[in-house]
Amino acid sequence: MDVRWRALALLTLARISMGVQFQSLPSVSSGVMHDLSLGYAELGFLIGLYFLPGVAFALPAGAAGHRLGDKRVVLFGLVLMVLGGLLAASASSVGVLTAGRALSGVGAVLLNVLMSKMVTDWFAGRELSLAMSIFSNSFPIGMGLALLVFGRLSGVVGWQACLLVAALVPAAALLLLSMRYVPHPNDRASARQQAQSAGLDRRALILVCIAGAMWGTFNGALATMTSFSPQYLAAAGMDTATAASAVAAATWAVVVSVQLGGVLAHKLNAPTALFSVGCIGWAGCTLLAATVPELAGPATVAAGFVLGLPVGLILSLPGQVLQPSTRAAGMAVFFLWLYAGHGLVPGLAGLVQDWSGVAAAPLLLTSTLAIGILVLYALFRSVAGTRSGARPLRAE
């Protein structure tokens, strides 16, 4: 196997552990709430706590990778995920579970920032959108596996055992990467490169921030749709199990659309068309779900089949503006926007729903944000100075 694709396969497999560990707690939430006497607000905080460290640690993660080497920092991140997972699995109080969840989240930040930079190193200028679509699917695949396994397993062995299994998955990833992954030549720039690097110039910083705003908006909108759709579908007349199945089907549909988008981006020179179909299709489906309750279930699943089309393109944008010596810092800025979106948008959706009293308000917000992603892409192209129909800055 070509060294680039082998590296991608190893990084993708390792990152599945992040999706498994994130989703492990929501998948066993009933048992956790019962045993630790948690309310929904406390549970929601613990779920979101996995991403919260990104606000503080995204930029230091990029700096650490540049100074110490990407592989070293990623392996350290996996160690933190294992330790945090073991701590959470041993929890008999909310405080211990909180500490374990936070420690795992810090490790996940190191993975998210630096693994994306590592994929960019291997594929910059060639097949980057395709590679990023494959890599980005690792997280929802991990979530899907956790949904399939831990919900049933917790009823047999208990939620602590499920969290223990979730801690062993990054342990396996740690072993895999330490033994099999060969670093890219750009892993840990030489002292001379560091001395010559002037850091991110103003134009590159602006473009990375716009791309990051796209990614943060996308993930915040997706989290809002998947978090608020079950209760909306139940209010629209579905039973709880059917509503949950519809959202699960939409989640797996996202995996399909992300990969399809990566293939189409690789085969076609039509990024604007993919962005338009994905964003307008997503907005239309969620608007339909919000305004025609009897079609809300099929519309939610249909949204999953279109919303992932531009994902590979979004993730490839930083690689088109960053130089090898600035990729670590640039990807850290990019992911800072991701964590802001993850943390702020679902909360905003809840506030809008409470203020308006409209059950469909979060879906209407999702529809609006989907169009906002398209607007941000147009702004990116404008700042980048590309011609209509051309790929931003340089071809892949």
pLDDT tens sequence across 195-250: 444 467 888 999 999 999 999 999 889 888 887 787 788 888 888 668 777 888 88
Q: Which CATH superfamily is domain 202-384 in?
A: MFS general substrate transporter like domains (1.20.1250.20)
* pLDDT at 390 (0 to 100): 40
- CA distance linking residue 297 with residue 236, whole number of Å: 9
* pLDDT at 328 (0 to 100): 79
What confidence tier does 193 reach under pLDDT thresholds 50, 70, 90?
low
Strand boundaries in the chain, DSSP class E: none
- CA distance linking residue 361 with residue 65, whole number of Å: 41
Ordered by start, the domain boundaries in the chain are 3-180, 202-384
* pLDDT at 43 (0 to 100): 76
Using one digit for the tens of pLDDT, what is the confidence trace for 50-77? 888 888 898 898 888 888 899 999 999 9
Q: What angle do CA 247, 97, 32 make, to 5 degrees?
A: 50
Q: Which CATH superfamily is domain 3-180 in?
A: MFS general substrate transporter like domains (1.20.1250.20)
Q: Which residue is it, tokens 């964003």?
A: 279
For 371-389, b/e burial (b = at least 16 CB within 10 A) is: ebbbebbeebbeebebeee
Share of the chain above pLDDT 90, in %: 46
* pLDDT at 387 (0 to 100): 44
What confidence tier does 40 reach under pLDDT thresholds 50, 70, 90?
low
Span 260-286, average pLDDT: 92
What confidence tier does 394 reach under pLDDT thresholds 50, 70, 90?
very low
pTM of the model: 0.79
Q: What is the mean pLDDT of the chain?
A: 86
Amino acid at 300: T
Using one digit for the tens of pLDDT, what is the confidence trace for 328-341? 788 889 989 988 88
Query: Does the pLDDT value for residue 147 go beyond 80?
Result: no
Share of the chain above pLDDT 70, in %: 92
For 341, phi then psi, to 5°, come to -65, -45
Whether 3-180 shares its CATH topology with 202-384 is answered: yes
Span 81-92, average pLDDT: 96
Which letter does DSSP use for residue 274 in this model?
H
